[in-house]
Amino acid sequence: MLAENYLLANDAFAARRHLAAARSHCEDYRESYMAAELCRWSALLSLTEGHSSEIVEGQLHEALRIAREQGARSFELRSAIMLARLWGEQSRRAEAVDLLAPIYGWFTEGFDTPDLKEAKALLDELGAC
């Protein structure tokens, strides 16, 4: 969470340091429940630092893979939102909708939560709804 907060504060150096510490902790203690989020935060940091879209996409695909393996639907939604937004900015709107719409469709409640509100707004922006 510190890495995410430093990202929001535009301190990429501190964010990367805390992200590395979080990864190390997860490896040392064999805790993998936050692995998808760590990949998503890495993608956000890479995007902030101006890395290529291929690098960011790779990190987001890894986050999606891990979330799917763990059945972590909320983490999958967050990663899908980020990847769909990136694709939308690259004029890959159909791919973005094809990724995000089914994941958004899994949810049957909680539509007032920030993640689901963001997903709905993005789908509307992409012309899916």
The pLDDT of residue 129 is 54
The CATH number of the domain holding residue 53 is: 1.25.40
pLDDT score of 51 more than 60:
yes
Total number of domains constituting the chain = 1
- pLDDT per residue over 1-32, tens digit each? 888 899 889 899 999 999 999 888 888 888 88
The pLDDT of residue 4 is 84
The pLDDT of residue 3 is 86
Supply the DSSP string of the chain, one letter for each residue.
-HHHHHHHTT-HHHHHHHHHHHHHHHHHTT--TTHHHHHHHHHHHHHHTT--HHHHHHHHHHHHHHHHHHT-HHHHHHHHHHHHHHHHHTT-HHHHHHHHHHHHHH--S-TTSHHHHHHHHHHHHHT--
- pLDDT per residue over 92-114, tens digit each? 999 999 999 999 999 999 999 99
Give residue 25's domain range: 2-126
pTM (predicted TM-score): 0.92
The pLDDT of residue 128 is 67
The pLDDT of residue 28 is 83
